Amino acid sequence: MADNEFATCLEDWEDLEKEYVQLEEGHKNYTKLLEQMTAAQKKCVADIAHHRYRIRRIMETLKKVGRDLTEEEVQQREELLQKIKDRKDNFREMEESLPHKNGIYLSIILGQVNVSLLDKGDKFKYKQEYEKFKLTVSNIIMLISLFTYFIQSYRWVDALLNFLLVWYYCTLTIRESILIVNGSRIKGWWLTHHFVSTVCAGISLIWPEGETYQKFRTTYILFTFYLTFVYALQYYYQSGCLYRLRCLGQGHTMDITVEGFMSWMWKGLAFLLPFLFFGYFFQLYNAYTLLMLALESNFREWQVVALAVIHFFLFAGNFLTSLKVIRQKLKDDGRLDFLSKKYKFRNHAHPKTL
Report the residue from 102, 198, 238, 340 that binds ligand COA according to the rule CB under 6 A: 238
Is 279 a binder of ligand COA (CB under 6 A)? yes
What would you report as the CA-atom Rg of the chain, rounded to the nearest whole angstrom? 28
CB of 241 to ligand COA, least distance (A): 6
| Nearer CB in complex with ligand COA: 244/301 | 244
Q: Which range of residues in 30-38, 72-80, 83-91, 234-242 is near ligand COA by CB under 6 A?
A: 234-242
| Nearer CB in complex with ligand COA: 169/213 | 169
Q: What count of Cα atoms within 13 Å lies in the side-chain half-sphere of residue 306?
A: 15
Of 189, 237, 212, 191, nearest in space to 299 by CA: 212
- Alpha carbon distance 189, 321 (integer Å): 7
Is 185 a binder of ligand COA (CB under 6 A)? yes
| Nearer CB in complex with ligand COA: 84/269 | 269
CA dihedral 305, 307, 308, 311 (to 10 degrees): 160
Report the residue from 45, 272, 284, 291 that binds ligand COA according to the rule CB under 6 A: 272
Is 228 a binder of ligand COA (CB under 6 A)? no
| Nearer CB in complex with ligand COA: 57/324 | 324
Q: What are phi and psi of 177, to 5 degrees?
A: -65, -35
Report the residue from 234, 286, 289, 303 that binds ligand COA according to the rule CB under 6 A: 234
Is 311 a binder of ligand COA (CB under 6 A)? no
CB of 317 to ligand COA, least distance (A): 9
Locate the DSSP E strands across 213-291: none
- Alpha carbon distance 278, 286 (integer Å): 12
Report the residue from 318, 339, 340, 345 that binds ligand COA according to the rule CB under 6 A: 318
- Alpha carbon distance 257, 351 (integer Å): 6
- Alpha carbon distance 297, 16 (integer Å): 80
- Alpha carbon distance 127, 270 (integer Å): 23
CB of 185 to ligand COA, least distance (A): 4
Report the residue from 241, 247, 256, 309 that binds ligand COA according to the rule CB under 6 A: 241
Q: Which range of residues in 21-29, 58-66, 140-148, 177-185 is near ligand COA by CB under 6 A?
A: 177-185
Is 232 a binder of ligand COA (CB under 6 A)? no
Is 127 a binder of ligand COA (CB under 6 A)? yes
Of 236, 233, 253, 276, nearest in space to 354 by CA: 253
CB of 283 to ligand COA, least distance (A): 7
Q: What are phi and psi of 119, to 5 degrees?
A: -100, 135
Is 190 a binder of ligand COA (CB under 6 A)? yes
Is 325 a binder of ligand COA (CB under 6 A)? yes
Of 174, 198, 186, 49, nearest in space to 113 by CA: 174
- Alpha carbon distance 303, 213 (integer Å): 10
Residues that bind ligand COA (CB under 6 A): 127, 179, 184-186, 190, 227, 230, 234, 237-238, 241, 272, 276, 279, 318, 322, 325
